[in-house]
Structure 1
Amino acid sequence: MVTGTDKKNYRIVISGYYGFRNSGDEAVLRSILLALAEQGEANGVQIQPIVLSADPAWTSRMYGVEAVRRMYPKDVLNALRASDGLISGGGSLLQDATSAKTIPYYTAIIKLAQWLGKPTFIYSQGIGPVNRRWMDPLIRSSMRKSAYVSVRDAESAELLKRIGVAAGRIEVVPDPVMGLPLPAGAAAGRAVAAAGEAAAVPVLGVSLRHWRKDGADLGRAADALAELASRRPVRLRFLPFHTPDDAEASKVVMERLSGRLAGGSSAELAAPGDDPQQMLLEVSRCDALFGMRLHALIYAANQMVPMLGLSYDPKIDQFLHRLGLTPVGTTEQLDPIVFADSAQRLLDDANGWKEEHREAIERLRQQSQQPAQQIAQLLRHTISR
């Protein structure tokens, strides 16, 4: 480890979907910041982050870093000019499923940094889906001219190869959140309930979001949870990863469960606040998790919590595949019997699930530091100020 006067200082702008208080994306940012600090220390590099945020004041308070307005060109330009490089990521930034504006925005930030002569680093991004072929050149040019490119799954790497990015330039790594620690002083595992009877009721974390406009997917989720509750007592703890939207989706399902929970079962809505590590702690206290949000599943893997994934996007299938899992259903089809059977197996044999998937999960945890390590080494050895 390099210390003292040998340590070099670099200002690095970080671009992503930050400041919107989406727990998954905020967890990505927290994970990146922690990894950069750890790997910077190990490599004799002092990294000073400047985050492009929708709410710079909030981001600065939450993480203790400098932040600027992400949609104000002058602020972004000034931050890049005063920087030593740009990190783009992580998360699903380069996709056009949510909007046709997403890829042009994030590639424009990358290209601006490159035009200013700043090295750019692609940090564990999920690439795609890309349905508009005219966006391929934007992505290809950004990647080809970046000093380092890492993606969070093999499917993203294949997409980049198809549009002309050399395979040898792409590193496949886990999502950064696989390396996120619990809050300082927090203990993982289920909280001990005050009453002995309540302590015996398993906790199933539930992470849902609005997707289908007609709400049929939430209706199917409610039916599946009701089927499980009809078989055994279960404590359904709804975890809103994106507020207020996920809280509203959770309330819709809870209303549909009203009067359908058998004796001993209950439903409740958690309020972990904005800190992603507090949500990670919430997940760690579940016996199993039923998740639609990608980062709900990643949090569960991080804490070795058995999981069932509900797929609404290829990224769900891709992450589950890395653990040797498949979705229990999709937003178009979810069989209550299949779901309840699967959930019962997890709740009855959590240790068996953990042993089966421990090796894959530990590998992802260890690999989650690779992008920060590579960036710190590049800054120290190959990039001059």
Structure 2
Amino acid sequence: MKQMRAVLCGYYGKGNGGDEALLASLLQLLPSHVTPLVLSGNPAQTKQDYGVEACDRMSIGAVLQALRRSDAFIWGGGSLMQDATSALNPFYYGGLMKLAQWFGLKTIAWGQGIGPLHRPTTRWLARQTFSKCTAVSVRDRASAALLSRWNIPFTLAPDPVWALQPEPVPGLWNFPAPRVAVSLRTHPQLTPTRLEALTRALVSFQTATQAFVLLIPFQPAQDMAIAQQIHAQLPNVSKILTLSNPQQLMGVFNGVEMAIAMRLHALIMAAAAGCRCFALSYDPKVTQLMEEIQLPGWTLDQMPTDSTQISQIWLEQYANGDPLLNEQIHSLVDRALMHQQVLATALTPR
């Protein structure tokens, strides 16, 4: 089959474990006749980690050269078209997509979670870019509903990270059992008062269960300070575990009994490993996952203020909560592989 080159575009090389997991999933599912070129915030690290060609995502010259040399352009998963984090996000990603379309490349919006889009301008831009794509796949029902209203064809499938192949974590089994994973991140709704309540609850929870707590900063630049703060309250029964390999990050959850997490992909990885999960939602994408696979948890603004109440609810989930059944996990993984079929169909040479 004729070889093709595809530019992969996402929030790559920025130290975010979830986005790196999306890149690893995309590379795992990319057809064998397609050679990837990754736009990265750290091209040297991306080359080292994945063995692929990479260039600086903010270098206009390098990006233009990459597009001119390529046959396809892929938005590689995640919430790229949203203006909650920054009003500039849709213009960066949407601008690159429009440029690729102008160059005549096959363009794929892959594994997308669309929104929030609060501004009329960014909603208009999103509609324009998605409507001109060769193929579109989305990971949640809200994104699918939006595309339906816009009369844009799409494939709906679970987040591609469900299908990521985990790798063993060296030394994981040396930590005392049972183990519980905790993944929190900074956010305006995670106020100092709420974080203090969560920390007190976690101390009580650990005392009751005698579990060893693995504090997992998915994006150390945002998450490390919180992990350190909690570790200081559990100095002998917790460990901050920093992993840059997304497949090892997924592998961690094969060795824990329960996960308490804000991060979307921490919850997906934990649920895929058959862990009991408890979600703390800071974003609609986390709330949608909670609804779709019936994860227990709270949005941060609905979280109880009493640490004893929080701890008791966690203990109930730890003792009696139900992880996903194997049949449910297999179904989610199988359906996530629909994203692979989208790639195979759209990237078939003419």
Structure 2 length as normaliser, TM-score? 0.92
Structure 2 unpaired stretches of 5+: none
Aligned match of 2:346: 378
Distance verdict in 2 for CA 1:342–1:214, change over 3 Å: closer
How far off is 1:101 after superposition?
0.4
Q: Given residue 292 of structure 2, which amino acid in structure 1 is its aligned partner? A: R
Aligned match of 1:240: 217
Distance verdict in 2 for CA 1:150–1:101, change over 3 Å: same
1:292 equivalent to 2:276? Answer: no
Aligned residues: 348
Aligned match of 2:192: 215
* Separation in 2, partners of 1:93, 1:107: 9
The answer on whether the counterparts of 2:138 and 2:156 sit within 8 Å (CA) in structure 1 is yes
* Separation in 2, partners of 1:187, 1:65: 23
Aligned match of 2:60: 73
1:15 equivalent to 2:2? Answer: no
* Separation in 2, partners of 1:113, 1:170: 19
The answer on whether the counterparts of 2:276 and 2:317 sit within 8 Å (CA) in structure 1 is yes
The answer on whether the counterparts of 2:40 and 2:57 sit within 8 Å (CA) in structure 1 is yes
CA deviation map 1:73-124 (0-9, x unaligned): 1211111111111111201111111101001110111100000111111111
Distance verdict in 2 for CA 1:250–1:332, change over 3 Å: farther
What is the correspondence of 1:143-222 to structure 2 with a 5 Å cutoff?
143-162=130-149, 164-166=150-152, 169-183=153-167, 186=168, 191=173, 198-199=176-177, 202-212=178-188, 214-222=191-199
How far off is 1:221 after superposition?
1.5
What is the correspondence of 1:1-385 to structure 2 with a 5 Å cutoff?
7-36=1-30, 40-41=31-32, 46-162=33-149, 164-166=150-152, 169-183=153-167, 186=168, 191=173, 198-199=176-177, 202-212=178-188, 214-255=191-232, 257=233, 266-272=237-243, 274-330=244-300, 333-334=303-304, 335-349=306-320, 353-354=322-323, 357-380=325-348, 383-384=349-350
Q: Which has the larger radius of gyration?
A: 1
Structure 1 unpaired stretches of 5+: 1-6, 260-264
* Separation in 1, partners of 2:284, 2:170: 30
How far off is 1:248 after superposition?
1.2
Distance verdict in 2 for CA 1:11–1:218, change over 3 Å: same
How far off is 1:161 after superposition?
3.3
The answer on whether the counterparts of 1:28 and 1:176 sit within 8 Å (CA) in structure 2 is yes
The Cα RMSD (Å) is 2.3
The answer on whether the counterparts of 1:124 and 1:150 sit within 8 Å (CA) in structure 2 is yes
The answer on whether the counterparts of 1:149 and 1:171 sit within 8 Å (CA) in structure 2 is yes
How far off is 1:72 after superposition?
1.3
The answer on whether the counterparts of 2:169 and 2:252 sit within 8 Å (CA) in structure 1 is no
Q: Given residue 186 of structure 2, which amino acid in structure 1 is its aligned partner? A: H
The answer on whether the counterparts of 1:204 and 1:237 sit within 8 Å (CA) in structure 2 is yes
Q: Given residue 205 of structure 1, which amino acid in structure 2 is its aligned partner? A: A
CA deviation map 1:235-279 (0-9, x unaligned): 211011001321111112333x359xxxxx82221133x111121
Distance verdict in 2 for CA 1:339–1:189, change over 3 Å: farther
Distance verdict in 2 for CA 1:138–1:71, change over 3 Å: same
Q: Secondary structure at the match of 1:205?
A: strand
* Separation in 2, partners of 1:87, 1:120: 6
* Separation in 2, partners of 1:206, 1:347: 13
Q: Given residue 226 of structure 2, which amino acid in structure 1 is its aligned partner? A: A
* Separation in 2, partners of 1:338, 1:171: 41
* Separation in 1, partners of 2:71, 2:115: 28
Q: Secondary structure at the match of 2:116?
A: coil
The answer on whether the counterparts of 2:203 and 2:234 sit within 8 Å (CA) in structure 1 is no
* Separation in 1, partners of 2:276, 2:207: 21
Identity, in percent, stands at 35
Q: Given residue 138 of structure 2, which amino acid in structure 1 is its aligned partner? A: V
The answer on whether the counterparts of 1:204 and 1:286 sit within 8 Å (CA) in structure 2 is yes
Q: Given residue 245 of structure 2, which amino acid in structure 1 is its aligned partner? A: D
* Separation in 2, partners of 1:266, 1:226: 10
Aligned match of 1:3: none
Q: Given residue 326 of structure 2, which amino acid in structure 1 is its aligned partner? A: R
Q: Given residue 344 of structure 1, which amino acid in structure 2 is its aligned partner? A: L
Q: Secondary structure at the match of 2:226?
A: helix
The answer on whether the counterparts of 1:204 and 1:288 sit within 8 Å (CA) in structure 2 is yes
How far off is 1:361 after superposition?
2.4
The answer on whether the counterparts of 2:15 and 2:221 sit within 8 Å (CA) in structure 1 is no
How far off is 1:339 after superposition?
3.3
Distance verdict in 2 for CA 1:149–1:189, change over 3 Å: farther
Q: Given residue 206 of structure 1, which amino acid in structure 2 is its aligned partner? A: V
